[in-house]
Amino acid sequence: MPYALIFTEQYNRKAAKFIKKHPELRQQYLKTLQLLQANPFHPSLRLHALQGKHQGLHSVSINLSYRITLELLIQDEQIIPVNVGDHDAVY
């Protein structure tokens, strides 16, 4: 059963800005979201929990340079993307 991706208005603005700045990553970004919805634990996503000020959030990789931080609610099978960008932008 696929997970539900829940996009907030704030995240949609960040994602639109990210895609506008990096149009060459659009396909990789969309593929990452599709895989995240189908199986957030797929090894290529490199899902991991964050620590410190981002405790409670997780991160997945779009590629080696860009990440999506997200709130992963396992019991409700919901994923809420929080931020997208390079390492410095999301952490």
The sheet with strand 78-86 has its strands ordered as 4-5, 78-86, 66-73, 58-61, 48-49
Record the pTM. Answer: 0.89
Q: Which domains does the chain carry?
A: 4-90 (3.30.2310.20)
pLDDT tens digits, 62-85: 999 999 999 988 778 899 999 999
pLDDT tens digits, 7-21: 999 999 999 999 999
pLDDT tens digits, 22-58: 999 999 999 999 999 999 999 999 999 999 999 999 9
